[in-house]
Amino acid sequence: MSDLDDIYHSFSFDFRINEVPLEELILHYERVNFLYPEKKKRIQHVLPIIVQNWKKALQAKDQLLWVASSHRNNFQKMATISLWRSTKNCWLAQHLTSNAGPSYVRNILIGTQLHAIENKYRAGQNWFQPKNKYANKIFGSIESSIGSPYAKVSSYNYYYLHPDINKITDSSISIVQCRNNYYQKTLLQFLLDTMGNVFIETEEWDQDDIELEQINDLYSKFDLFRYRSIWMAFNKTYGDEPVGVLTAYRGPLGFNFSLLENRMELILNSNLKNEKRFAIFSQLINKALSAYETHYPLKVIPLVIHSNIERNIESSNLEYIRTYNKSSWINKGFEPWCRHVAHFFEIIENNFKKEQNVSKE
């Protein structure tokens, strides 16, 4: 019997896929304060679009978006997590919620990972707030638990970008759009040097289809879309080496309630001189705005910037929202991830039993 068999048989396994009606799921999000008033206010005017996008995607069963749950009492008590296909073979797990006991959370976390192993996902990732102690203990520790070759935890600052950003003209800066087979090798090397191999695998930058045309074809079968557009900046001072990359991810609005499916993601060369940073940022942004000219009803664009490379980028057009950590792990880390989660909940269960024994004395 393998380690995974031991994990599977060590608890009463209650794991279900797409059994919670969408209306019940949204009520649950409000009940457990996941869809808290501030977040709900930000998306309230587009909530009908979001609900429609989820309904379309759920028709594809577990091919685009699916919801895992462990529940009782007619959905009144349950733990849930949703996953959606962010690239061809990589998935984003999100919206972990529970108003039931820890065992319910354990069920869905290990269940989703076993599903990923069975279906040969290439990688997984999730975004979480580091101030959430529960999430930080589980997901924030995977790099040390699983090992850095297979897992990575990175910190980002998350903003709303107001598109009327002033353009700074600097003739020493040139911007090129990276297309499939066009600047692809240069882009890959830059991302490898700045972000590392786990980042490369998780976002599938090492595949031929960097613009996600193939996954967009799958989404289009359900009247949805998923693609990304990439721009790279060069500066004469740095020769042929790129100094920055901006990726505009586009997808069905509200797949993630923080709108991360439609984020811009900025990566800069850490060796850049301070006075160049904002100029490069500005010119990249102004190119990337073209990716939001259609199918985008919001007045602001989500933007994430890696906290290690953010200094000296200040703009009145940026509204700071919060800090997010992104936890990423590749296929070779799936089984260690299961063991990591099982160990975490074993500690919780043992502590709970100790507390019960103390209360009886």
Encode pLDDT of 198-213 as tens digits: 999 999 999 999 999 9
Q: What is the pLDDT of residue 159?
A: 94
Residue among 66, 59, 80, 58 nearest 115 (CA): 66
Residues 284-297: tens digit of each pLDDT: 999 999 999 999 99
| CATH number of the 3-126+332-360 domain | 3.40.630
| CATH number of the 158-326 domain | 3.40.630
Q: What is the pLDDT of residue 360?
A: 46
Instruction: Give domain limits for the chain.
Output: 3-126+332-360, 158-326
Same fold yes or no, 3-126+332-360 and 158-326: yes
Residue 11: pLDDT over 70 = no
pTM score, whole prediction? 0.92
Residues 295-339: tens digit of each pLDDT: 999 999 999 998 766 555 767 789 999 999 999 999 999 999 999
Residue among 146, 149, 89 nearest 120 (CA): 89
What distance in Å separates the CA atoms of residue 341 and residue 344, rounded to the nearest whole number?
A: 5
Instruction: Find the range with the poorest average confidence among 178-187, 217-226, 320-329.
Output: 178-187
Residues 237-284: tens digit of each pLDDT: 888 889 999 999 999 999 999 999 999 999 998 888 777 888 899 999
